[in-house]
Copies of this chain bind each other. A is one copy, B any other.
Amino acid sequence: MSESGYGKLVNLGQEVQLVADTQALLGWDQEVLMPSKGLDYRGRQMAWFSGWVHDRQTDPRVGEWIEEAEAGTSDHTDEVTRANLREWKHSFERETKLPRRLVEEFALAQVHAKSAWADARGKSEFSIFAPHLEKLVALCKEQAECWGYLDTPYDGLLDKFERGASTARLTETLNGLRKELIPIVEEATSGERFDRTCLEGHYPIEKQKAFNHEVAESMGFDFEAGRIDTAVHPFCSGMAPHDTRLTTRYDEADFLSSLFGVLHEAGHGLYEQGLKGELRGQPVGNAVSLGIHESQSRLWENHVGRSRAFWEKWLPEAAEYFPHLASVDVDMMYRAVNQANLSYIRVESDEVTYDLHVLLRFEIEKLIFSGDLSIEEIPEAWNSRFESYFGLPVEEDASGCLQDIHWSLGIFGYFPTYSLGNINAAHLAAAARSDAAVKSAMDAGDYSSLREWMRARIHQRGSILMPDDLIVEATGKPADATALINHLRDRYLPGS
């Protein structure tokens, strides 16, 4: 008996995944290790792999296999089969709309833009990055035209990161969030600021690494199936069923910078390690969306790492590594990690101002793709908008529109998923804490039951459900900003 269409799709998916995972190693290596002169050749490698994957995914037989497999389904078909078919069909439809030339050109442009961005950021010179950004925006507009869209090309791009999202709905969500945030931000940033003098000291990198390792291990991150390395911009790459790599960056004057990088990325890493490895290569074996992925990282970074219980457990350990912390108590530490600041850098910002940073880039991106903002106008648009939101003049682009890596990867439409992640994280955390056992363990600094709650309800469910449905299944109701706002009020305005 010859193999069914469904079986052929499974086999093809595994082969494509194997190759795409190798491409992920090429990308990771470029960020973490590759010598600078290796760039041109790496670009050619990335382009080749993108082209190969595209060819396989758009093979006309794939369409026939999907039809054959669909014909064999009924109301009784199991959820895994149905989800795989749903995703195969969606990706086949999108992928076949792209010409191979565009796919290769995009991969090649990314490699060079990433390097130019790092250079531009280092020198704080937007003009170094501008031509690469111009190129990537043009390629992304072309992609959006191929895919088609509802109202704006930006809609077409969003779908890459958040299945089912639209610009209109996200705008509504984020504007609603902003309205609620503004008064909290105002009050939280107006009081007496925490004096960080008590934290000043030298934090040797080797000791930070050892401390971070201990924290990540206690979270349940499996170091036999993962690593932590150093990179300019922290990220997580799940490049094989048992190979998930995190990066962070070190500041010898501030151990919190690398630690929160690790907490965040290890949250992503637990999701990757929690996926069903035996399903790798099938859509259901993949993470479902960035809004869900980000919920896991923000959960560990904020709901765990910025909680009092966390520091009750970890401050004494930290003081073993960094003896000058012996004079700091839990209350001081809690205030230090929850000080609201109007500041320049998103990834270093506190929880309450974070979404304002996201909103700003979301607005700039929308303007770029509606054609209302040219590349050269970006720094000016960024800076004036930033000053009106944060009351601070932007003095250099490195702390402004150049601060984040995403544009250099040709990633537009990704940013709003950060705010979705915050909303989802608070919503999921509230649901998990409504389980008395999870709550009492968390309050005692034990997060294993929280991790298992997420593993069963989120990680292991892969892409079986669409993001919104997954949240409803896990928590009993759709996510909205209520839990996030409640959480921020509790944390930042405890007296009110």
Contact = CB atoms under 8 A, between A and B. Distances in A.
Interface of A: 15, 18-19, 21-22, 25-26, 29, 33-38, 40-42, 44-45, 48-49, 222-227, 240-243, 280
B44 A224 contact: no
Contacts of A226: 35
A15 B224 contact: no
B37 A243 contact: yes
Contacts of A18: 41, 44-45, 48
Nearest to A29: B25
Nearest to A36: B224
B224 A41 contact: no
Contacts of A19: 48
Given A18-B44, A48-B18, A242 B38 contact: yes
Best-surrounded residue of A18, A41, A45 (most CB of chain B within 10 A): A41
A45 B467 CA distance: 31
B41 A242 contact: yes
Contacts of A49: 22
A111 to B, nearest CB: 13
Contacts of A45: 18, 21-22, 240
A315 B280 CA distance: 54
A425 to B, nearest CB: 27
B25 A225 contact: no
State the 10 A-B residue pairs at the shortest beta-carbon distance, nearest first: A37-B242, A38-B243, A37-B225, A41-B240, A37-B224, A36-B224, A38-B242, A38-B240, A35-B225, A18-B48
Main secondary structure of the interface of A (DSSP, over half): helix
25 contacts: A18-B41, A18-B44, A18-B45, A18-B48, A21-B41, A21-B45, A22-B22, A22-B49, A34-B243, A35-B223, A35-B226, A35-B242, A35-B243, A36-B224, A37-B222, A37-B225, A37-B242, A37-B243, A38-B225, A38-B242, A40-B242, A41-B240, A41-B243, A42-B240, A45-B240
A247 to B, nearest CB: 12
Contacts of A37: 222, 224-225, 242-243
Contact of A35 (B22, B35, B36, B227): B227
Contacts of A242: 35, 37-38, 40-41
A33 B29 CA distance: 11
Nearest to A37: B242
A14 to B, nearest CB: 9
Given A36-B224, A36-B225, A41-B241, 18 more contacts: A18-B44, A18-B45, A21-B41, A21-B45, A22-B22, A22-B45, A25-B25, A25-B26, A35-B223, A35-B224, A35-B225, A35-B226, A37-B224, A37-B225, A37-B242, A38-B225, A41-B280, A45-B240
A33 B243 CA distance: 10
Contacts of A15: 48
B26 A29 contact: no
Contacts of A222: 37
Nearest to A19: B48
Contacts of A36: 224-225
A106 B44 CA distance: 28
A242 B29 CA distance: 14
A33 B227 contact: yes
Nearest to A239: B38
A481 to B, nearest CB: 38
Contacts of A224: 35-37
A156 to B, nearest CB: 31
Contacts of A41: 18, 21, 240-243, 280
Nearest to A33: B227
Contacts of A22: 22, 26, 45, 49
A40 B277 CA distance: 12
A195 to B, nearest CB: 35
A236 to B, nearest CB: 14
Contacts of A38: 225, 240, 242-243
Contact of A29 (B29, B35, B42, B225): B29
A87 to B, nearest CB: 21
A22 B18 CA distance: 13
Contacts of A48: 15, 18-19
Instruction: From A15, A225, A243, name the one whose CB has the most chain B CB atoms within 10 angstroms.
Output: A243
A242 B43 CA distance: 13
A379 B49 CA distance: 44
A26 B18 CA distance: 12
A225 to B, nearest CB: 4
A45 B22 CA distance: 8
